[in-house]
């Protein structure tokens, strides 16, 4: 199976402190990859490396390669805006822009230079449909996105990412602020979205990782202790530390 990311000897430092240590891994295309591990283990830091969200952090230094479609995203010639078009991101708390539902989704394509109202409408509708939100909001597209529920806002953020037609969607604990019903909708959506996109999700919920992902990487102290299919990780992990973590005996 094709890979969407190839990561080679990745090291990341916040000043003197090394936060990621010599990571080497491949992330499969059109699969859901879950990143698990205790707080501070580096999983979100790693996720943010994948679309260069760490660039703006002062004192942050990165070594190694992260290849997407054969191109190193840390190559000085890489255009970060293009990269973030390819690699979308959904955050822990839904963060819709204070504008209408329509404008939230149309924002990215507009920035890309699409002005034609008909094309924008088509993109917005398709994105909302893919994010399983269209049915719920089609009659109030021009109302403020801030009036949506938390779960709807998160799906709107997913629609906003989809509107850019990315290759990969990064999700940093996308359901941690949502109730079980909204969580279940997002999880169903992830299952559906992986047909078209590769998804990398950071989660603290072991059940969520086991329910939604195909592959799982267990992070500890900035290292990947084990990465395998989710089936193997949750049935027969090779490393005792992985087993201790997934069974709640860590520490």
Partner 1 sequence: MVKLDETLSLFQDLIQEMARKVRSMHCLAMQIMESGDKEKALQLIQLDEFVNRYEEEINDRAQDVLALLSPVATDLRIVIAGIKTASDLERIADYAKNIARYVIKNGPVAPCIRPIAQQIGESFLAMFDHTIEAYQARDVKKAFQIPEEDEVINRLLEEVHAILKEALKNQKIDDSIIPTVGLLRNLERAGDHTKNICEHLIYQEKGQHIDFD
Residues within the interface to partner 1 (CB under 8 A): 206-207, 210, 234-237, 243, 246-249
Task: Output the CA–CA distances (angstroms, integers) from residue 222 to 20, 68, 75, 209, in the order listed.
Answer: 4, 22, 23, 19
Q: How far apart are CB 248 and partner 1 at their closest, in Å?
A: 6
User: Which CB, 222 or 237, lies closer to partner 1?
Assistant: 237
User: Which CB, 9 or 207, lies closer to partner 1?
Assistant: 207
Give CA–CA dist 48/102, Å, rounded: 27
User: Which CB, 85 or 205, lies closer to partner 1?
Assistant: 205
User: Which CB, 134 or 234, lies closer to partner 1?
Assistant: 234
- Strand-pair category, 3-14 with 168-172: unpaired
Give CA–CA dist 26/76, Å, rounded: 22
Give CA–CA dist 248/6, Å, rounded: 30
Per DSSP, the three-state class of 97 is coil
Q: How far apart are CB 101 and partner 1 at their closest, in Å?
A: 36
Q: How far apart are CB 118 and partner 1 at their closest, in Å?
A: 49
User: Which CB, 168 or 246, lies closer to partner 1?
Assistant: 246
Secondary structure (DSSP) of 144-179:
BGGGS-HHHHHHHHHHHHHTT--SEEEEESTTTTS-
User: Which CB, 38 or 150, lies closer to partner 1?
Assistant: 38
Task: Look at phi and psi of residue 143 and say left if phi exceeds 0, alpha if psi is from -120 to 50, else beta.
Answer: beta
User: Which CB, 121 or 240, lies closer to partner 1?
Assistant: 240
Secondary structure (DSSP) of 230-246:
HHHHHH--SSHHHHHHH
Give CA–CA dist 251/244, Å, rounded: 8
Q: How far apart are CB 210 and partner 1 at their closest, in Å?
A: 7
Q: How far apart are CB 43 and partner 1 at their closest, in Å?
A: 19
Q: How far apart are CB 29 and partner 1 at their closest, in Å?
A: 27
Q: How far apart are CB 162 and partner 1 at their closest, in Å?
A: 31
């Amino acid at each position: 199976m094709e890979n969407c990311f190839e990561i080679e000897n990745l090291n990341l430092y916040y000043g003197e402190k090394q936060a990621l240590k010599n990571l080497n891994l491949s992330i499969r295309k059109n699969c859901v990859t879950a990143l698990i591990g205790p707080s501070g283990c580096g999983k979100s830091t790693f996720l943010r490396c994948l679309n260069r969200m760490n660039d703006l952090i002062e004192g942050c230094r990165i070594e190694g390669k992260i290849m997407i479609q054969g191109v190193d995203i840390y190559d000085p010639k890489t255009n970060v805006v293009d990269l973030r078009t390819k690699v979308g991101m959904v955050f822990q708390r839904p963060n819709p822009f204070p504008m209408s539902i329509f404008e939230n989704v149309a924002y990215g394509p507009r920035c890309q230079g699409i002005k034609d109202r008909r094309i924008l409408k088509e993109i917005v509708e398709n994105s909302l449909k893919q994010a399983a939100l269209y049915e719920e909001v089609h009659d109030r597209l021009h109302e403020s996105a801030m009036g949506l529920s938390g779960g709807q806002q998160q799906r709107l953020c997913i629609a906003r990412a989809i509107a850019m037609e990315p290759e990969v969607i990064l999700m940093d604990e996308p359901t941690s602020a949502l109730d079980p019903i909204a969580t279940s909708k997002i999880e169903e959506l992830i299952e559906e979205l992986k047909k078209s996109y590769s998804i990398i999700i950071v989660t603290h919920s072991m059940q969520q990782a086991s329910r939604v992902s195909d592959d799982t990487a267990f992070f500890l102290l900035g290292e990947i202790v084990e990465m395998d299919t989710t089936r193997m990780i949750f049935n027969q992990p090779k490393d005792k530390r992985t087993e201790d973590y997934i069974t709640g005996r860590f520490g």
